[in-house]
């Protein structure tokens, strides 16, 4: 598997702050749906910014180590050029929208990077279709709902065909239905386009059916990383990180510890109920 993001011995501090990231070593391979978890203030957003070159080349600050995206170091690269390969959606996606209409918003990056207007138009049309907003090119931003505006922000990332998409807490301000629907959409894009997703998420329940890899960040350091199957038990052992795991996985780890049995990594309550019933944990177990 090709490594798309490689962070080696990376340290970073903002101007007038302590170390925010310490000894970060990450390898993200092509394809997986990676979720970054960690307590508030652990450095998750800064890590996302490091992957996209914003830290330290836009925001300033002191750093050591190296970040490579698709085999090339981010050092000396313009953040806008990097953004063509690795798209970033910030937590405050509303303020990320810069144009007046949906079509202009999606075409903004393309036109700035010198794409001919015809190609920009075609890519805009397709990106809007991909996020479930077909034919909304002429819609004013205030004609779109909050959820639709978030999809629009995603469409403007998709239009440049990045190989990696980084999202910082995309559902933090959404209701459960909105959150589920956004992750369904992200999974569809992940499957159809093969885009590598890196998502910072506090509420892992939403992303439970799709997440393949986990990176746990604590106090600016990587506490665990790897496939979910490999790291869930380690994360569960950490008292500070445990509450960040979805409840289903906490139950699974707790049961494994108490019974000595091994359970599959449940992706839904139905799956858990089925396995528990099959292993004789009582007929009363229901999803």
Partner 1 sequence: MKLNAFTWIIVTLAVTAWVFILPLEAVATILVLQLVLLLYIKRSKTMLAAIGGLGVFTGMMVLLQLLFGSPLDVSLFGGLRMLVMTLAFLCMLATTRIQSIAKALVDRFHLPVEYAFMLTAALRFVPNFLEDSTITLDAQSCRGYSNRGNALKRLLSYVVVIRPLVMRAVAKSETLALSMELRGFGANTYKNMPKEKFTAVDFVVLLIVVVLSTYPFWKKLLPA
Chain residues binding partner 1 by CB under 8 A are 52, 54, 58, 78-81, 83, 88, 90, 92, 94-100, 104, 108-109, 111-117, 120, 141-142, 156
- Name the minimum Å distance from CB 37 to partner 1: 23
- Of 138 and 261, which has the nearer Cβ to partner 1? 138
- Smallest Cα–Cα separation from 64: which of 118, 23, 18, 125? 23
- Of 104 and 169, which has the nearer Cβ to partner 1? 104
- Of 95 and 239, which has the nearer Cβ to partner 1? 95
- Smallest Cα–Cα separation from 217: which of 18, 14, 24, 88? 24
Cα angle: 272, vertex 273, 278; to 5 degrees: 100
- Name the minimum Å distance from CB 96 to partner 1: 4
**3-class DSSP assignment, residue 26:** strand
- Of 96 and 227, which has the nearer Cβ to partner 1? 96
Q: 200 near 168, Cβ under 8 Å?
A: yes
- Of 50 and 208, which has the nearer Cβ to partner 1? 50
The 10 Å CB-count burial string (b at 16+, else e) for 239-278 is eebeebbbebbbbbbebeeeeeeebeebbeeebbeebbee
- Name the minimum Å distance from CB 100 to partner 1: 6
Distance CA 278, CA 287 (A): 14
- Name the minimum Å distance from CB 93 to partner 1: 9
- Name the minimum Å distance from CB 45 to partner 1: 12
- Name the minimum Å distance from CB 94 to partner 1: 7
Residues 6+ apart with CB under 8 A from 8: 25, 65, 66, 67, 68
Instruction: Establish whether the linkage from the previous residue to 19 is cis, with ω within 30° of 0.
Output: no
- Of 2 and 75, which has the nearer Cβ to partner 1? 75
């Amino acid at each position: 598997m090709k490594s798309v993001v490689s962070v080696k011995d990376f340290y970073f501090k903002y101007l007038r702050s302590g170390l925010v990231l310490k000894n970060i070593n990450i390898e993200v391979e092509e394809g997986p749906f990676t979720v970054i978890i960690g307590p508030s203030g652990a450095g998750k957003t800064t890590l996302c910014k490091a992957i996209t070159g914003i830290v330290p080349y836009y925001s300033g600050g002191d750093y050591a180590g190296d970040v490579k995206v698709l085999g090339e170091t981010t050092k000396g690269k313009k953040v806008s050029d990097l953004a063509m390969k690795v798209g970033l959606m910030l937590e405050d996606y509303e303020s990320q929208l810069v144009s007046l209409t949906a079509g202009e918003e999606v075409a903004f990056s393309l036109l700035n990077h010198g794409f001919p207007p015809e190609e920009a138009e075609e890519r805009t049309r397709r990106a809007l279709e991909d996020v479930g907003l077909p034919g909304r090119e002429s819609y004013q931003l205030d004609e779109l709902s909050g959820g639709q505006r978030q999809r629009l922000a995603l469409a403007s990332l998709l239009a440049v065909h990045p190989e990696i998409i980084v999202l910082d807490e995309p559902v933090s301000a959404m209701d459960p239905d909105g959150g589920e629907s956004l992750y369904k959409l992200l999974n569809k894009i992940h499957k159809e386009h093969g885009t590598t997703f890196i998502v910072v998420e506090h509420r892992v329940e939403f992303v439970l059916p799709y997440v393949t890899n986990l990176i746990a960040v604590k106090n600016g350091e990587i506490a665990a990383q790897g496939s979910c199957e490999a790291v869930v038990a380690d994360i569960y052992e950490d008292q500070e990180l445990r509450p960040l795991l979805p409840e289903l996985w906490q139950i699974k780890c707790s049961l494994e510890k108490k019974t000595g049995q091994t359970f599959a990594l449940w992706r839904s309550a139905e799956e858990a109920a089925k396995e528990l019933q099959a292993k004789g944990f009582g007929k009363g177990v229901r999803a």
